[in-house]
Amino acid sequence: MFKQTTLFLVPLFASFIHPVHAQNVLFSEQFDTPSRWSTSVRNPKNVAQYRGSDWLQYPPLGNIAPSSFNLGYTEWGNKPVQMVGDGAEGRFLRFKLSTYNPNNFKVNRASKFCWGTELQTLRKFGPPSVGHAIEFESRLRLPVLAPRMIGSFYTYSQKQSGGTVFSDEVDFEYIGADYGNEMLLTSWNDWARRNDNGPIPSQGYNDGKHHQDALTGSAKALPNGVNRATWHLLKIRWSCLSSGVYRIEYFSKQNTTDVYKLLCTQDGAAPNEAMEMHLNIWATDPDPKPTNAPGTNYLMDVDWCRVSDVILGAGVVRKPKVSGAKS
Ligand SMILES: [Ca+2]
Ligand SMILES: [Ca+2]
């Protein structure tokens, strides 16, 4: 089990040669204690009153304002299940996406949804201070997946300004069995929520300012290189290079003892506001379709999550620009 605070310091004499590398663990979850993810709310507006708890479990659609918590062909509320087995310390949490959703058979329910699972931390992390990074890590596996079934490890935050919702977000997404082990990596900054009136002016997908994505194994990112069906690790590094300048890096590795492989760096659309950590499994346009009797459960297992504050090496940090300075 992780200690809440871990500090690695090189000996003092060495610090004259190399920068001190310190890691401060801000949050650690082994999924040992069910009460930590038992909170669910009927209305997202009430989330603030649960700030002392660890995780929020997304409840079923229909108990709350429609369209707030559903996503694609997914209704939330499929409860995560604690499993005893081969996690790092023997326990892990199983996220299910079921083709059978008992809520589909409510009166007047025309649309059929799969039944998915989502958790988020109630606490927000970051933004990192200059010369630091916030790292979000998870050990997970997706042993059963189908086309357009999505498993995500991501960060998110939103704010309202002038009646428009703006969000910051960083996504690791397995986007379906037809993509094998490859993932979509996406960073967002101040993304304005679109509506039926059309696109928000001055923003667009891959505009490099509000949204930036890369599929691993494409020209934009290295192949993921892990087997998603077995335990592996993902890490988002959110760095502050100088005041107001942020960078997102995505890493993966198969085994805890392996060295992380950098898959992709995104500078343009990097978030700058504190974000929650999220985990979910859901469907965009599911194949197979929702069933009217217990069918298949698609699975994402999560052994642990961790959030750390790390000090960046001196070579990464940029000197602040001084306006009007003479060279
Ligand atoms: Ca922002
Ligand atoms: Ca665990």
Top pLDDT among 21 and 101 is at 101
What pLDDT is stored for residue 6 in this prediction? 38
Q: Give pLDDT tens digits for 70-122.
A: 666 788 889 999 999 877 778 999 999 999 888 776 555 556 788 999 999 98
164 CA distance to ligand 1 centroid (A)?
13
27 CA distance to ligand 2 centroid (A)?
14
Q: Which domains does the chain have, with CATH numbers?
A: 20-312 (2.60.120.200)
201 CA distance to ligand 2 centroid (A)?
44
189 CA distance to ligand 1 centroid (A)?
5
Asked if residue 67 has pLDDT above 50, the reply is no
274 CA distance to ligand 1 centroid (A)?
9
134 CA distance to ligand 1 centroid (A)?
16
Which residues crowd ion ligand 2, with CB under 5 Å? 30-31, 87, 91-92, 303-304
Q: Give pLDDT tens digits for 159-206.
A: 888 778 889 999 999 999 999 999 999 999 999 875 545 557 688 899
What pLDDT is stored for residue 74 in this prediction? 85
Above pLDDT 90, what percent of the chain?
Answer: 54
271 CA distance to ligand 1 centroid (A)?
5
273 CA distance to ligand 1 centroid (A)?
5
Top pLDDT among 110 and 325 is at 110
What pLDDT is stored for residue 88 in this prediction? 73
Among 9-13, 15-19, 320-324, the range with the most confident prediction by mean pLDDT is 320-324
324 CA distance to ligand 1 centroid (A)?
28
Cα dist from 69 to 5, 231, 248, 277, 280, whole Å: 34, 28, 26, 16, 12
Q: Which of the ligands is closest to the CA of residue 29?
A: 2
211 CA distance to ligand 1 centroid (A)?
11
What pLDDT is stored for residue 75 in this prediction? 84
Which residue do the tokens 């592996």 mark?
Answer: 232
In this prediction, residues 290-317 reach a mean pLDDT of 91
172 CA distance to ligand 1 centroid (A)?
18
Asked if residue 26 has pLDDT above 80, the reply is yes
Q: Point out which residues pair with 311 in neighbouring strands.
A: 132
